[in-house]
Amino acid sequence: MKRRMLRKLVASLTALTLMATAFTGCGSEAATQEGAQVKGDTRESSVEETTVNSGGDASDPFSFASPKDVVFPLKEKLTLTAFVNNPDQSVTSYQDNWVNDWIEEQTNVHIDYIYDLTGDEATQKLNLIMTDPNSMPDFFLRTGWSKAETMSYGSQGLLLPIEDMLGQMPNWTRMNEESPMRKADLTMSDGHIYSYGGQNECFHCMYQHRMYIYKPWVEKYLGGKNPETTEELYEFLKKVKEDDANGNGIADEVPMSGYIGGWASDPTVWMINSFTQCVNPLSNTNPTVAGGLVVNNGKIEYAVMKDEYREGLRYMHKLFKEGLLDNQTFLQDNTQFAATVDATEGNRVAVYPGGGMSDSAFWQEQDGEWQNWEILAPVAGPDGVRYSGRCIQTYFEGCLGVVSSTCKYPEIVIALFDFMASDDAVHHISAGPQGIGWDYTNEGTSLSGGTPTYETFSIPEDYDYVKDGGLSKTYADYRYTPDAMIQSSSAADRGGLKVADPAHSGEYWLQQWAELYDKYAPPVETLVPNMSFDEEEAKIVTEATLTIGGYVNQALVQFIDGSMDIEKDWDSYIEKLKSMGVDEYIAAYQRTYDAYIAAAK
């Protein structure tokens, strides 16, 4: 599960005098507040009146010249209408949700989810809403739109471009500083930003192309020292193959195995990165942006056409030909693979790839065979190349935080988004009441191996939030769905989560392995961003990704298994790519990348 680390909110909230008249904002009815208290709040009214609508309409307390002028809690309660496409049906209601009351206490903004939907119903309703601007809410918390859909609605004037307002927001700015590729991911090809976006960085997902090695055989053949080069790896695999490593008198050892169809479960990415930087997986349950493409001094290159890539294929063909790479790697499924790796009568495999360990006990956080395995760091190729297969993090995340063009007070909505992205708010919104779903702590061990800053709690199904938790009322739900909320969780922040049992925690080990692979990461500027393409470029890229990418993957397998001769057929492989339009494919990426770089300056 993706988790988010949260720092304490340090900005104090300014108490404002209350006004007796109800106001209407963003096409919604604003509720009249009675007395000095916000719902559930015991703050007293300030005796000094603070001017909050600097540069705005002096007669309208909800009119602000800029979102940076907005101070929460507002002087008068304001109701904003919202739409949410919630992908997690375990959270049944955003409307009847403890989070709404908590946000209202902090901001004096009441969120009215007039569209609280999920699945196909959400998609269908959203399509209807966008044909009738009068039915649009003030803001969309999550739409589930693609970038192309978002830009289309923006170009039609149905969504507000919000880049200028966002540039004034402290949490937005902080997240962009922590995550240098974030702003670009949210910038559409027309140069505008229409969504606040998220920051839910899965650090170990950035380095998911991992390899595991069997420790007892490392002790037996290498004195406990893992291979550091492709040559040392070759010699190790050869000894396993020829020396009856498991001692059963049967030549059943499989030095290296893998399969297509799982989470980073084919060995090609890990292996090719000992020759050239390239993330073009055959097997990955997580989407890969710009597979096989890299940036070299501002120029887009297709790594699968380079001589260094060819050298990597030569090496893998050598392993395959000599029986050091399982000849079932590109044919077997997960069940067949697991039967080989998880053999009950003596181990048979020396090295295998995967996002996580194959042993089910690893995921159940129990003692098991997985403890006889350890992570194998990337090995250096003959030219000293030693990269981890680094994937980029995306921040568009289903289009989070969009302002309707009919919204009367977009400055308040942007300020609300930025409040939701504050560390303390993210914690409350994602985990519920403090002390029940989460709390701050500095005791124990964190995900990153240091001192933790927060912990989360497992809440029993029969937990009574009123009787046991002291809340004033019950709700249908007590948190928002992590994938349908404004998120603020950098990889470093996430590392602050307390781990109850580091020795058995899968999340802990995934983090440790990613930190090892981070030492071999290619520079971030060599990664192709998750860019937004205009209609013409999008057509080129989409078609080429299927046709050219499909051929590249087919040839990859055939070069390794010998169906294609790496010596005789390489030139025809390159010519085939050119005839399929690879130059225009690369050029389309280059044009979009150049525009992206220019917009980022």
Decide if pLDDT at 544 tops 70. Answer: yes
- Show the domain range for 370: 208-389+526-530
What pLDDT shows up at residue 156?
96
The tally of domains found in the chain comes to 2
Structural element, H or E, at residue 584: helix 582-600
- Neighbouring residues of 217: CB distance < 8 A, sequence distance ≥ 6: 236, 240, 245, 347, 350
Query: Is the CB of residue 72 less than 8 Å from the CB of residue 424?
Result: no
In a domain, 551, yes or no: no
Greater pLDDT, 86 or 35 = 86
Are 185 and 56 members of one domain? Answer: yes
What pLDDT shows up at residue 189?
85
Tokens standing for residue 492: 């470093």
The 10 Å CB-count burial string (b at 16+, else e) for 247-280 is eeeeeebbbbbbbbebbbbbbbbbbbbbbbbbbb
What pLDDT shows up at residue 280?
95
In a domain, 576, yes or no: no
Decide if pLDDT at 468 tops 90. Answer: yes
Residue where one domain finishes, among candidates 480, 495, 530: 530
- Neighbouring residues of 459: CB distance < 8 A, sequence distance ≥ 6: 432, 436, 437
- Burial of 157 per CB tally in 10 Å (0-12, 13-18, 19+): exposed
Greater pLDDT, 83 or 9 = 83
Q: State the Cα–Cα distance between residues 434 and 440, nearest whole angstrom.
A: 9
pLDDT digits (tens, 9 = 90+) for 398-411: 899 999 999 999 99
Decide if pLDDT at 100 tops 80. Answer: yes
- Burial of 343 per CB tally in 10 Å (0-12, 13-18, 19+): middle
Tokens standing for residue 198: 């998220």
Are 223 and 332 members of one domain? Answer: yes
Place of tokens 């690893």: 362
> DSSP class of residue 159?
B
In a domain, 359, yes or no: yes
Are 306 and 191 members of one domain? Answer: no
> DSSP class of residue 497?
B
Decide if pLDDT at 45 tops 50. Answer: no
pLDDT digits (tens, 9 = 90+) for 471-507: 999 999 999 999 999 999 998 899 999 999 999 999 9
Decide if pLDDT at 578 tops 70. Answer: yes
CA distances from 131 to 126, 145, 497, 499 (A): 9, 15, 44, 48
Are 234 and 128 members of one domain? Answer: no
In a domain, 36, yes or no: yes
Place of tokens 């507000």: 160
CA angle 427, 432, 438 (to 5 degrees): 60
Decide if pLDDT at 5 tops 70. Answer: no
Q: State the Cα–Cα distance between residues 115 and 412, nearest whole angstrom.
A: 20
Query: Which of these, 497, 521, 492, 522, lies nearest to 507 by C-alpha position?
Result: 497
Is 0.95 surpassed by the pTM of this model?
A: no
N- to C-terminal Cα separation, the chain:
35
Q: Could you tell me the pLDDT band of residue 10, with boundaries at 50, 70 and 90?
A: very low
In a domain, 541, yes or no: no
CA angle 121, 124, 128 (to 5 degrees): 135
pLDDT digits (tens, 9 = 90+) for 426-436: 999 999 999 99
What pLDDT shows up at residue 56?
61
Are 231 and 363 members of one domain? Answer: yes
In a domain, 185, yes or no: yes
Query: Which of these, 381, 411, 327, lies nearest to 72 by C-alpha position?
Result: 411
- Neighbouring residues of 296: CB distance < 8 A, sequence distance ≥ 6: 526
- Whole-number percent of the chain with pLDDT over 70: 89
Can you tell me the mean pLDDT for 246-264?
93
Greater pLDDT, 323 or 283 = 323
Query: Is the CB of residue 100 less than 8 Å from the CB of residue 429?
Result: no
Q: Could you tell me the pLDDT band of residue 25, with boundaries at 50, 70 and 90?
A: very low
- Burial of 342 per CB tally in 10 Å (0-12, 13-18, 19+): middle
Residue where one domain finishes, among candidates 513, 530, 547: 530
Q: Could you tell me the pLDDT band of residue 105, with boundaries at 50, 70 and 90?
A: very high
Q: Could you tell me the pLDDT band of residue 148, with boundaries at 50, 70 and 90?
A: confident
Rg (CA), the chain: 27
Are 217 and 83 members of one domain? Answer: no
> DSSP class of residue 388?
-
Are 41 and 161 members of one domain? Answer: yes
The DSSP bridge partners found for residue 456 are 438
In a domain, 323, yes or no: yes
pLDDT digits (tens, 9 = 90+) for 186-237: 999 888 999 999 999 989 999 999 999 999 999 999 999 999 999 999 999 9
Tokens standing for residue 472: 């004033």
What pLDDT shows up at residue 286?
67
Are 354 and 404 members of one domain? Answer: no
Can you tell me the mean pLDDT for 297-314?
98
Are 261 and 338 members of one domain? Answer: yes
Residue where one domain finishes, among candidates 413, 435, 456: 456
Q: State the Cα–Cα distance between residues 24 and 20, nearest whole angstrom.
A: 13
Domain containing 366 — which CATH number?
3.40.190.10
Are 84 and 166 members of one domain? Answer: yes
The 10 Å CB-count burial string (b at 16+, else e) for 17-55 is ebeeeebebbbbebbebeeeebeeeeeeeeeeeeebbee
Percent helix, percent strand, percent coil in the chain, to nearest 5: 35, 15, 50
Are 134 and 179 members of one domain? Answer: yes
| Phi-psi region at 144: left, alpha or beta (left = phi > 0; alpha = psi -120 to 50) | left
Are 52 and 196 members of one domain? Answer: yes
In a domain, 343, yes or no: yes
Query: Is the CB of residue 154 less than 8 Å from the CB of residue 146?
Result: no
Sheet holding 349-353, edge to edge: 254-256, 349-353, 211-214, 373-376
In this structure, the number of other CB atoms found within 10 A of the CB of residue 103 comes to: 22
The 10 Å CB-count burial string (b at 16+, else e) for 165-199 is bbebbebbebbbebbebbbbbbbbbeebbbbbbbb
